[in-house]
Structure 1
């Protein structure tokens, strides 16, 4: 009887557990890079059967720190929120602004949103 047949309600086999020393795990994690550890182990042990994963290069630590600082400063300025409030006032008619200024403000909102998404993607943060 196979593992998946032992429990008829389960469509997936039970997980396999493996005990590693701290050093062994650190070595495997270093070899796996950004690949999930289980996927890396499968790709090594079951080379022909394992799904193929493209390794994603991790940005250098200094670059990640710089990206994190930029994202933190962008969040701290609350400029996107301020621009959004200005845009709302324009649309409600409580603030008179000519067409050129309105277009500039809307463009700024879009650019800030793009920067935020791009920085979060570069850091590997899910929005």
Structure 2
């Protein structure tokens, strides 16, 4: 047996007014987390975030990208 398959996404089309309403009701939560909570209740399993960013020093990356932008290299 191989690795268990990742959960599959579910797509939902909303009108602009429906999305705006949900975003205002979410009150700082991500829209996906808010919708999961509303559909599945307070005991909805939290989503696991991948925190393994290859970037360790974002400030240094910003300085390098700024210097590259000013170098006029195409």
Question: Counterpart of 1:50 in 2: which secondary structure?
Answer: coil
Per residue, is there more helix in 1 or in 2?
1
For these two proteins, the number of residue pairs brought into alignment is 45
Separation in structure 1 between the aligned mates of residue 41 and residue 26 of structure 2, nearest angstrom: 14
List runs of 5+ in structure 1 lacking aligned partners: 1-7, 53-127
Question: Are residues 1:21 and 2:15 paired?
Answer: yes
Q: Deviations over 1:92-117 (max 9, x none)?
A: xxxxxxxxxxxxxxxxxxxxxxxxxx
After the TM superposition, list the runs of 4 or more consecutive aligned residues in structure 1 that deviate by more than 4 angstroms. none
Separation in structure 2 between the aligned mates of residue 16 and residue 10 of structure 1, nearest angstrom: 18
Separation in structure 2 between the aligned mates of residue 43 and residue 9 of structure 1, nearest angstrom: 27
Greater relative contact order, per chain length (Cα 8 Å cut-off, separation 6+): 1
List runs of 5+ in structure 2 lacking aligned partners: 47-74
What TM-score do the two structures reach when normalised by structure 1?
A: 0.31
Question: Are residues 1:30 and 2:15 paired?
Answer: no
C-alpha displacement at 1:20, in angstroms? Answer: 0.2
**1:45 alignment counterpart:** 39
Q: Deviations over 1:10-65 (max 9, x none)?
A: 6312100000000000000000011000000011110053147xxxxxxxxxxxxx
Name the larger-Rg structure: 1
What TM-score do the two structures reach when normalised by structure 2?
A: 0.52
Question: Counterpart of 1:31 in 2: which secondary structure?
Answer: helix
Q: CA RMSD in A?
A: 2.2
